[in-house]
Amino acid sequence: MTGNNTGEFIITVKNSKATTLEPLFTLRSNMMLNQYLNSWEGTAETRKSPDFQGIMGLPDQVANDLFLGDGTYSLWNREAADPVETGKYPTENTYGSVPFFMGAAEDSTWFGVYSNVAAAQDWEIKNQEVTGQVEISFFAAGGRGDITIIQGADPNAVVQTFHQRIVGLPVMPPQWALGFHQSRAGYKSVSELQDVIANYKMHNLPLDGIWSDIDYMEDFKSFYYDIDAYHDLPSFVKGLKDQHWVPVIPAGIPQRIRYTGGLPPYLPYHQGLDQNIFINASSRIQQPFTGAQYAADTVYIDWSHENATIFWDDWLGKLQSEVAFDGVWLDMNEATSFCDGPCYWDQTAVQPVQQKLKYIPSGRNLEQKTIPLDAVHQDGTTELDVHSLYGTW
């Protein structure tokens, strides 16, 4: 249905197999789409009181209830130490974003709604327990995307369709990955890792995997291990019989422009620079954006570049050939920077896009601890539109 000449449209989704043809979800919008705003309203028709539960989803969140209470929930990847989401401003969004929710209909079937938008976004939820309706208002700071509505006999059927038809199947983890693991920063040598394993064994504690934080790395460089402090690392890993070793690999590539401390040139940075596979500071500043991680000045792989995956595979393969790791701990891939947006004044946009936004989801600085919204990818998209995809590219 359309709202006369206003440009508004209304889509009502019903279960054609049900005898009553009760609606499952109604989407209302006048498609307020422009460069910095994307909004719509919807009504999810769920079970009425006394069986009311509402809708569940919109992960990645830490919550006390699977079902969403009244309030606002934000999706915008940021490094945050698992705060409990309360639905109140400023919202407590965390590491990941999955714009998908599902609920049980009055006819006992289930439905799911996937809003494929990667921009910063708020979901305002208002539950009507008597009628079973959940009113949803969606506001995003721009972004391109689409909406998919799924219907199934039960929640498993909805989730199955979501994976098989839309986002792909999850990876089946190896059995050892489901066991008992140990990880802690501060180990300065291989002998300390050996002591950890020995103590687990002495106390008859199971240990399937041991993870190494940034201590094992040479000068915090991705794909390089410290051949002085950790000179026995290859033989240590090769000699593991009942455990598996997992090294951390941060998302950022250290920006080692000059050779320091007598060390040879850091080839991953120089190769990536030659291939132009790092995210640029802005459309005006055609140079890699310099953020900050534990390695200090850091640049970020642009996964929209055709050579990015090859670059990543080659350097992971080089590390694998030296130290036979069993898994990779992908860290700080929100992507995180210790600066709020630009670290250096000469990489600041003349007219920062955050100042142009008509609405700022989450109620906080969207550049907090991350890449500036003005940063540009090889395919022409800005960080504003694709930031929350970084860890999944």
What's the confidence (pLDDT) of residue 352?
Answer: 93
Task: Mark which of 167, 187, 209 sits at the end of a domain.
Answer: 167
Q: Give the mean pLDDT of 319-334.
A: 96
Q: How confident is the model over 104-110, as a mean pLDDT?
A: 90
- pLDDT at position 347 over 80: yes
What is the number of residues in the chain?
393
Digit-coded pLDDT (tens) for 56-93: 999 888 888 999 999 999 999 999 888 999 999 999 98
Least confident of 22-26, 85-89, 308-312: 22-26
Query: Over 60: is that where the pLDDT of 2 sits?
Result: no
Residue 107: CATH number of its domain: 2.60.40.1760
pLDDT at residue 170 tops 90: no
In a shared domain, residues 112 and 17: yes
Residue 261: predicted pLDDT? 65
Determine, yes or no, domain membership for 154. Answer: yes
pLDDT, one tens digit per residue, over 140-168 is 998 777 889 999 999 999 999 999 999 99
CB 93 within 8 A of CB 82: no
Tell me what pLDDT residue 179 has.
96
- pLDDT tens readout for residues 181-210: 999 999 999 999 999 999 999 999 999 999
4 part of a folded domain: no
Domain range for 223 is 175-392
Q: Which of 113, 142, 167 is the last residue of a domain?
A: 167
Pure H helices in the chain: 155-161, 190-202, 233-238, 267-275, 308-322, 383-386
Sheet holding 244-250, edge to edge: 181-183, 209-212, 244-250, 329-331
Same domain, yes or no, for 373 and 224? yes
Q: Which residues contact 267 (CB under 8 A, 6 or more apart)?
A: none
CATH of the domain at 230: 3.20.20.80
Judge whether 312 and 367 are in contact, CB under 8 Å: no
Mean pLDDT rounded to a whole number for the chain? 91
